[in-house]
Amino acid sequence: MLSILVLHGPNLNLLGQREPGVYGTTTLDDINRSLEAEAQSLQVQLSCLQSNHEGALVDAIHAALDRHQGILINPGAYTHTSVAIRDAIAAVNIPTVEVHLSNVYRRESFRHHSYIAPVAVGQISGFGAESYLLGLQGLVKYLEVRSEE
């Protein structure tokens, strides 16, 4: 059975309260419950972690080696600042999908650059909490096709 690591970056623990006009009213617990339900239908296992600390996210990526076949990550603000998270993803070479609740390309210009995108197999943004489900579906499909090659 495929195992996917889901990482939520800084401030995502405040979803539902934080800038609802941008991020919606869905909580992180709601997102994780939706992901778990989708994972069951896709017959994959999930392990979810949220951290406001860059090092904790890097450690989780390192620990994913030989444990998970894919990573679904919303790096939050670290998308635009973290070479460390980018390098960790490149180092473990685990297929990764980057997701964002908002369409980062319709927001402030500093959000238009992602350090993660060049080392990810794909990126989904702008669909609110649905971005996570679309990201999980895409990642699982990618892994299934890759295993058939």
pLDDT digits (tens, 9 = 90+) for 18-43: 777 777 788 999 999 999 999 999 99
Among 66, 90, 65, 70, residue whose Cα is nearest residue 7 = 70
- How many Å apart are CA 39 and CA 33, to the nearest integer? 10
Write down the CATH number for the domain with range 3-148.
3.40.50.9100
Given a cut of 90, whether residue 111 has pLDDT beyond it is no
- Per DSSP, the three-state class of 105 is helix
pLDDT at 37: 98
Question: For residues 61, 65, 67 and 72, what is the CA-based torsion angle, rounded to 10 degrees?
Answer: 40
Catalytic residue among 8, 68, 100, 132: 100
Q: Which helix or strand (DSSP H or E) is residue 123 part of?
A: strand 122-125
pLDDT at 25: 82
Beta strands 45-50 and 3-8, pairing class: parallel
Residue 23: active-site member: yes
- How confident is the model over 11-17, as a mean pLDDT? 91
pLDDT band at 16; cut points 50, 70, 90: confident
pLDDT band at 96; cut points 50, 70, 90: very high
Catalytic residue among 23, 78, 115, 132: 23
If one counts every other C-beta atom within 10 angstroms of the C-beta of residue 140, the result is 21
